[in-house]
Amino acid sequence: MSRKLRLFLAHSFANEKLNAEGREDSHGSSDIDLANMISDWIVEFSNGNIEVVRTRDPYQNYISTQVRRDICSSDLMLCLFTKRVFDQLKELWLPSTYVISEASAGLMQYPSHKRLFGLVEERVDREQLGMAFPMNKTAPSFSRIDPNELRCKVKSIVDSIQNNKLSKRNDIEYLSLHKTATIWRNGAITVECRHRFRFTTSMNKMTIPHAIWRVSQPLPPIKTIFNGTRDVERGYLRCVPISCGNNEIRTNQFHLIPKNTGTENEHLFDLEFSNLDAQPGDELVYDIAWGYKGAFQDPSKQDDKPNTVGVLTFERGMVQSAALTLQFQRDLDDDAGEPTRILDEPPIVFKIDTPRLPANPTVFWHEAKNWEKQDQLQLCQDRSGAMWEVFHWEDTCFTGAAKINWTPHFNYLDDENLISTIQQRAKKPKD
């Protein structure tokens, strides 16, 4: 049986019974009373399809690990802002600082505000609700002495959740995909790609699909490129796990499993992690690096076709932050007064919404007809220098694919191995 939609209810646990003016009154309602009523109404209005999560924190000044995990494992969040401290200057009430902190923690969990809801007691200062609830965010007001009105407000929130068909969060959320492609003047490419995921439930084992591809020519054979070394001459592919939560990942906890694609231009593989002991809120971070020589040919042999570097979310789903950095090695000639010209025109970004094309061996994914042309990339002045010419693209809540097309200047690519040249220069004795 699949789990229910989980809603974290952030509220004060104060048990003093108050009236509408915030004064103690035995006939009034406490913050816990309000939270109990709201919890029951949410279950009632959702026909039991929403589970309400409430965690009382033993700490006063910061959010405990248990609260963070409960927030992270929830699909939605409702923040109940009630009167706690009276501001004599503004003659308004300040809400619980802890509820403000929980709301901010919730904001960090969700890529959009659609999963974050609020109820604000009358005469609570809306300028003091924290960054999760700016002044332009809708959060209905209520009076604690009018339960019927509050009941209607809660029903409206539940109806909004159900009408918008907000689904359960995935067991893992894709936080970032940041890729850096380095183009060397000898025509080689080296790529480093960092992936970050966040767990929303306890998990011990997981498998993540990946792919690398080459546009112009076949990739090095799969048995060669999976050799685990960093040899550009042969081609290489390496996975370097960084951490899972506060723990390092040992080499016996992950396996790289190649898959047959039926094409020489693309290699598919899975990363399988085991014995993770991951808890809600933990992040999995790892790098994938690969490279090979002869990746980009001389422009005179390209038939006016641009070179392409891209990012692809693949079957991993939407990523909250995607970035692609393209850096070109500049001329290292000691006698050159100016860097060698690299590109005839600035690189151009194209995007496509579908993460994968239907299986069709006659059409490679970058050749699809529905690419949308974006802007030309401008040189990153603060990241470029004597060694590198750098271009950068980024996006948020990204799914699908993006590619950067570029055409090198006729004299840019060099047959000489400049890395070896640098090493030889370093070995030369000084006069």
CATH of the domain at 291: 2.60.40.3140
Q: Which of 82-91, 93-102, 403-412 has the lowest mean pLDDT?
A: 403-412
CATH assignment at residue 143: 3.40.50.10140
Confidence grade of residue 422 (pLDDT, cut at 50, 70, 90)? very low
Tell me which residue of 167, 163, 143, 166 sits closest to 153, measured CA to CA: 143
- In this structure, the answer to whether residues 230 and 121 fall within a common structural domain is no
> Per the structure block, which two tokens stand in for 103?
């709301």
* Model pLDDT, residue 224: 81
Are 291 and 382 in a shared domain? yes
Lowest pLDDT segment from 46-60, 305-319, 402-416: 402-416
Greatest alpha-carbon pair distance for the chain in Å reads 94
pLDDT at 427: 45
Same domain, 157 and 185: no
Say if residues 316 and 209 touch (Cβ distance below 8 Å). Answer: yes
Which run of H or of E encompasses 44? Answer: helix 31-45
Lowest mean pLDDT among 76-80, 199-203, 312-316: 312-316
Let me know whether 409 and 385 are in one domain: yes
Residue 340 has pLDDT above 70, yes or no: no
Domain boundary among 163, 195, 224: 163
pLDDT in tens, 129-140: 998 898 767 799
Which of 106-120, 204-218, 266-280, 361-375 tops mean pLDDT? 266-280
Q: What is the pLDDT of residue 82?
A: 96
Measure the CA–CA gap between 301 and 326, rounded to whole angstroms: 22
Return the axis-axis angle of helices 31-45 and 147-163, rounded to nearest 10°: 40
Residue 350, CB half-sphere, CA atoms under 13 Å: how many? 20
178 and 122 both lie in a single domain: no
How many separate domains does the chain show?
2
Q: Which long-range contacts (CB under 8 A, 24 or more apart) does 336-340 make?
A: 339/386, 339/389, 340/409, 340/411, 340/412
Q: Are residues 229 and 87 in the same domain?
A: no
Q: Spell out the residues 6+ positions from residue 124 whose beta carbon is closer than 8 angstroms to its own.
A: 81, 82, 83, 92, 93, 94, 95
Alpha helices in 183-235 (DSSP H): 222-225
How many CB atoms sit inside 10 A of residue 293's CB? 16
Does residue 263 register a pLDDT over 80? no
Both tokens of 186, joined, read: 């000898």
Would you state the pLDDT for residue 176?
93
Contact 394, 323 (CB under 8 A): yes
Neighbours of 227 (CB within 10 A): 14
Of 163, 181, 198, the one marking the end of a domain is: 163
pLDDT at 184 over 90: no
**Segments forming the whole domain that contains residue 353:** 172-427
Which residues have C-beta within 8 Å of that of residue 223, sequence separation ≥ 6?
none
| Residues 158 and 178 grouped into a single domain | no
Q: How confident is the model at residue 353 (pLDDT cuts 50, 70, 90)?
A: confident
Q: Domain check: are 274 and 422 in the same one?
A: yes
pLDDT tens, residue by residue, 265-281: 888 889 999 999 898 88
Same domain (yes/no): 139, 190: no
Residue at a domain's end among 163, 185, 205: 163
How far is the C-alpha of 107 from the C-alpha of 101, rounded, in Å? 10
Q: Do 186 and 334 fall within a single domain? A: yes
In this structure, the answer to whether residues 318 and 279 fall within a common structural domain is: yes
Q: Angle at CA 137, nearest 5°, toward 131 and 141?
A: 105
C-alpha 117/C-alpha 72 separation (Å) is 15
- Looking at residue 169, its pLDDT comes to 78
Whether residues 294 and 374 share a domain: the answer is: yes
Q: What is the pLDDT of residue 262?
A: 60
pLDDT confidence of residue 356: 56
Closest CA to 174 of 147, 198, 141, 208: 198
Per-residue pLDDT averaged across 86-108, rounded? 91
Distance in angstroms (rounded) separating the CA atoms of residues 282 and 203: 10
- Residue 85 pLDDT level (bands cut at 50, 70, 90): very high
